[in-house]
Chains A and B, each alone.
Chain A
Amino acid sequence: MTCSEKFEEESPYLLRVGSQNASLWKTGKPLLGHLDVELTERCNNNCIHCGINLPAGDSVAKKRELSTAAAKEILNEAASLGCLSVRFTGGEPLLREDFEELYLHARKTGLKVILFTNATLVTPSLADLFSRIPPLEEIEISVYGMKKTSYEAVTRAPGSFETAWRGINLLLENKVPFVVKSALLPPNRVEVEDFEAWASTVPWMDDFPSYSVFFDLHGRRDGKKNQMIRALRPAPEEGVEFLARRKKKRIKEMEAFCSKFIGPPGDSLFACGAGVGGACVDAYGMAQLCMDLRHPQAIYDLKKGSLREAVTQFFPQVRELKAENPDYLARCAQCFLKGLCEQCPAKSWTEHGTLDTPVDYYCEIAHTEARVLGLLRDDEKAWEVMDWEERLRDLSQKEHGQLKRRASWT
């Protein structure tokens, strides 16, 4: 038997596991499983739909950003809390001059790294680094168009098409695993098939690329940017139709919805898992339950306290917050589409500056989805439906592909 053959055998002593493998933990889960770090809010692109893209040369923002030492300290503390993976996001994280230093520090601390990037700043030396010291997770690259005209109509950064494709090719040449995703926007809408055909040639893509369709507003609530983002949002019917175009994928998502669903949330604001086993840190050292949730009541300054305190004391307190808005209590608190709706404190914050205001756009999307699934009639509001348990039972019992609509939409 050769060594390589023996490698394939199950070892009695050494067990191979993924960091998400629940069986990894026999006695108890670590306090922190995953950390998101927004290395900068600056970006060298200026995408029309993006909510986090200060200019690359914004010196005020740059000066406020976490120092190299502070970022390393946060990574150290995350590791001490048992964290196994960190996601570097932005803005464009590769804009940080100390990116390689922070990346190496994370990897040498025993963290896997997930990198969100537009790939425009991938250099030969960086691709070589990723090849020698792999992030252990696929890099996620946003691709905004298959042609220079469409790509740069989205990024509004001349030359970005060439630099992005150069970066992608460097990763391919160095066999650095990555996946690609996109945002469905007017300039690239007609290129969906071309993009998906190309994406299928990327060796590490085992599914169709994901799309951002219903764009989030600006995390800092910039009115001018929000106006532009709102104008780019598709109508709920249009977006749902796009997402539902792949039947098999759709069925999987529907199953996920059914498994997630556990009834109307009542006045609890946090029906999601934000701040449970994970944490986010913004570009300036504020710990947050989720990266979009920048409400003053929900951020914790790591310059004044520790990540441990944020995770063990602050986050649980925030998660205890109850909705008080009468409109929310009458609608969202009673709504059985919880698993289908993106309404959450972060969305309420970005749209309305509060934690508990219903966001009509997401409400309409959830209702559209529910009508397609046959859970609602055209004239119904989900929070008024009394027999929702029966409807969900019917849905889960139906054969795949045999869903019937209560009413059609066009």
Chain B
Amino acid sequence: MDLKARLDAVYAPSEDIVARSIEGEIIIVPLVAGIGDLEDELYTLNETGKAVWDRLDGKKKLKEVLAELSAEFDAPAGEIEKDLMGLVEELVRRKIVAEIV
């Protein structure tokens, strides 16, 4: 599995997790074994993470996600790209999102 995020790839939440929106928070609940390091682990996302998560819809390429984030957020393009790639790589490593082939 390629763990490196690619701008021309499309990503979506994995079928191995259940993502829930509760009280304004995104809660990621592992469904299968091996997602978290601990058995009872849940995940939530910070504000940057939420902005990215909402756009990982299985349709947009990552470069389109980057363009949307750059238009919405007042931050240097390089910084947004670094955050986006960092998060997507981490989510892929943890099997929370998967590349759509």
In this complex, how many residues of chain B approach chain A with their Cβ under 8 Å: the count is: 36
For residue A112, CB closer than 8 A to chain B, the reply is: yes
For residue A177, CB closer than 8 A to chain B, the reply is: yes
Interface CB pairs A-B, < 8 A, 15: A3-B3, A7-B93, A14-B87, A16-B37, A16-B38, A17-B43, A19-B40, A27-B23, A30-B22, A79-B20, A111-B29, A112-B40, A133-B32, A133-B33, A136-B39
For residue A268, CB closer than 8 A to chain B, the reply is: no
For residue A134, CB closer than 8 A to chain B, the reply is: yes
Q: How far is the CB of B86 from chain A (nearest CB, A)?
A: 7
| B residues 1-41 touching A (CB-CB < 8 Å) | 3, 18-20, 22-25, 27, 29-33, 36-41
For residue B83, CB closer than 8 A to chain A, the reply is: yes
A-B contact count (CB 8 A): 107
For residue A109, CB closer than 8 A to chain B, the reply is: yes
Using CB atoms, name the residue of chain B closest to A11.
Answer: B90
For residue A367, CB closer than 8 A to chain B, the reply is: no
For residue B45, CB closer than 8 A to chain A, the reply is: yes
Tell me which residues across on chain A come within 8 A of B42, comparing CB atoms. 16-19, 24, 84, 112, 136
**A203, B54: Cα distance in complex, Å:** 39
- Interface pair A18/B43, CB less than 8 Å apart: no
For residue A29, CB closer than 8 A to chain B, the reply is: yes
**A15, B94: Cα distance in complex, Å:** 12
Q: How far is the CB of A75 from chain B (nearest CB, A)?
A: 13
Tell me which residues across on chain A come within 8 A of B30, comparing CB atoms. 134, 136
**A317, B36: Cα distance in complex, Å:** 41
Q: A7-B37, A14-B90 are in contact. List 5 more A-B contacts (CB 8 A).
A: A3-B3, A12-B48, A24-B27, A134-B30, A136-B29
Tell me which residues across on chain B come within 8 A of A82, comparing CB atoms. 22-23
**A27, B3: Cα distance in complex, Å:** 34
Tell me which residues across on chain B come within 8 A of A305, comparing CB atoms. none
Q: How far is the CB of B45 from chain A (nearest CB, A)?
A: 6
Q: How far is the CB of A145 from chain B (nearest CB, A)?
A: 28
**A25, B40: Cα distance in complex, Å:** 17
Q: How far is the CB of A20 from chain B (nearest CB, A)?
A: 9
Tell me which residues across on chain A come within 8 A of B37, comparing CB atoms. 7-8, 16
**A363, B64: Cα distance in complex, Å:** 68
For residue A239, CB closer than 8 A to chain B, the reply is: no
**A17, B38: Cα distance in complex, Å:** 10
Using CB atoms, name the residue of chain A closest to B46.
Answer: A13
Using CB atoms, name the residue of chain B closest to A9.
Answer: B90
| B residues 56-101 touching A (CB-CB < 8 Å) | 83, 86-87, 90-91, 93-94, 96
For residue A273, CB closer than 8 A to chain B, the reply is: no
Known contacts A3-B3, A132-B33; decide if A109 and B43 are in contact (CB<8 Å): no
